[in-house]
Chains A and B, each alone.
Chain A
Amino acid sequence: MSRLHKMPVFVGLIGFFVCAVLLEFSVDAGWVMQLVVPRPSDTILAFPEVQEDMDLFGNFFVTLAMTAAATFLALLIGVPFGYFLYRNTRYGIAYEGWLAAAFAAPTVLLYPLFLVIFGRSHLTLIAMGFIPGAIPIIIQTRQGLLGVSRTLLNVGQSFNVSHRDMFWKIQLPSAVPTIFTGIRIGVMYTLVNIVAIEYLIDFGGLGRIVSEMYFRFDTPGTYASIIAVVMVSVFFYWGFGRVEKWLRPV
């Protein structure tokens, strides 16, 4: 028992497999309706079918491309705007409450507006991904620059470095970990919004597959596509967490 306490991840894995086996038997015994929850084995077997039928990998890259485009746009606008708010303190104070409010607002509900403007197109997905992505990048860029150590700035000043060098060699490297936190949050929100809109408007990549599988009443396929989305989210979350850890000074 004490050895198990040292391996919680192993205990979690055992628990996961026990739940899967119990579910398999429950569905077989008719205690759980197969139409509602498929056998785990059926869900695993549905992956090749979903891949063949719906091009799971191809659609993963569609979602990935939309997320990358929206994030790039958010970076392009978010970082300079965050820098502007840092340099102009009054603007920073004036807008920080608005940005926080915008970050908490249910911006996903704006999608009908973008549908009206851009139609059911990739532009709608990018625009919907851009909004929640840009806000945390702006906020964290400003916070990161405001948090640069006074000592570092004084060292730069004592070496008489130019404005440009002060920014590129001292301020930006110091602020990168905080800015990257904003990017990580921004990317996660961008991905979430894009998958959500894909699901809602039946257009695009992974979100559309989930919607389509449900409409076909292909329960194992629906579960398989949902697991695919979860795996993509985990990949993003884990990947950006690793990079953030690498960037953050010990």
Chain B
Amino acid sequence: MVKTGLIQTSTPDPGSDENSITRIRVVTAIGLVLLWEVVASLGTVGILYDDVVPHIWNIIIAIYEELVSSSFYRDLGITFAEHIVGFIVGSIIAIFLGIWMGTSPLLRGALEPYLNAIGSTPKIIFLPILFLMFGTGIESKMAKGSLSAFFPVVFTTTLGMVLINPVLIRVGQTFNLSKWQMITKIYMPAMVNPVITGLRLGMAITVIGVLVAELKFADGGLGYRLGIYYEQFRIAPMYAIILIIFALAAAANVGMTRLQDRVNRHMAPTTTKGKKAQASASGGLGVVATN
């Protein structure tokens, strides 16, 4: 126990309290499962709407059925293609624009109000424009993915450029580096971390953007599949798809976070004791990124 003024907070002792934290997590998870089952049973006995909250084993069976269904992989492939193309196109444009904005205060000042305005807007409302431009096929979802990925990446890249240590820039100028050498030798190594942060956020938001677009108009993809199950009132498969999407999104996020942590460890400056300073990629809320 640690005294924090008069307000006492129980600070865990690292060794022994690791168990109690695990216990809290396990008990909470079991409690949530039991609560879910109670609500599901209320539906079964007719107190709540039947099937609105299906039993957990029904959801597990539905997940299994999805995972062995060939049509699931077709939809997964469509969503994956839309996501990857949208993410890559949106990120590349954003990185170049971010670097340009970072090096040009005039461009930054001129574009920033408009980017902030659109960046804080729900991107889904631009879907009608994308449908008009690209049709209701896979292309409009890719465009939506690009739009979703663009904003977090452009914001973090610009910020990364602006916050580069001026000493590094002056060193480059002292050595008479060309603009290209400044970009490759000074800016890019200093920008790796913010760019990866932006890419991590962009990847998560692209998933949402693509799936939401599929929910509105599509003839394939996991969002489309989710919408179909809802319309057919097949609730257990609907939950199954939601859980699978959550798991995939979490896996992508964890992958990007680990990549960022690895880059941080690699790029972080060496301390006086020769140890690499570790900076965690996780934690904090990052920029306000909307879907």
Task: Give the B-binding residues of A (Cβ under 8 A).
Answer: 4-5, 8-9, 11-12, 15-16, 35-37, 86-91, 93-95, 98, 100-101, 103-106, 108-110, 112-113, 115-117, 136, 139-140, 150, 153-154, 156-157, 161-163, 166-167, 170-171, 181-182, 184-185, 188-189, 191-193, 195-196, 199-200, 206-207, 210-211, 213-214, 219, 222-223, 226, 229-230, 233-234, 236-237
Contact A94/B25 with A196-B122, A234-B117 known, Cβ cut-off 8 Å = yes
Asked if B113 CB lies within 8 Å of chain A CBs, one says yes
Q: List chain A residues, Cβ under 8 A from B5.
A: 153-154, 156-157, 166, 170
Do the beta carbons of A106 and B129 come within 8 Å of each other? no
- Please give the distance in Å from A185's CB to the nearest CB on chain B: 5
Do the beta carbons of A87 and B24 come within 8 Å of each other? no
Contact A226/B109 with A94-B21, A104-B249 known, Cβ cut-off 8 Å = no
Do the beta carbons of A188 and B288 come within 8 Å of each other? yes
Do the beta carbons of A108 and B291 come within 8 Å of each other? yes
Q: List chain B residues, Cβ under 8 A from A153.
A: 4-7
Q: List chain A residues, Cβ under 8 A from B64.
A: none
Do the beta carbons of A113 and B109 come within 8 Å of each other? no
Cross-chain pairs A/B with CB under 8 angstroms, 23 sampled? A8-B105, A12-B111, A12-B112, A95-B24, A104-B204, A106-B211, A113-B242, A115-B230, A116-B49, A116-B52, A116-B233, A150-B4, A184-B288, A192-B121, A199-B122, A199-B124, A200-B215, A213-B128, A226-B129, A230-B117, A230-B118, A233-B120, A234-B120
Give the distance in Å from the alpha carbon of A100 to the alpha carbon of B257 in the complex.
12
Do the beta carbons of A166 and B6 come within 8 Å of each other? yes
Do the beta carbons of A11 and B110 come within 8 Å of each other? yes
Report whether over half of chain A's contact residues are helix, strand or loop; otherwise say mixed: helix
Task: Give the A-binding residues of B (Cβ under 8 A).
Answer: 4-7, 9-12, 17, 20-22, 24-25, 28, 49, 52, 105-114, 116-118, 120-122, 124-129, 131-133, 204, 207-208, 211-212, 215-216, 223, 226-227, 229-230, 233, 235, 238-239, 242, 245-246, 249-250, 253, 282-283, 285, 288, 290-291
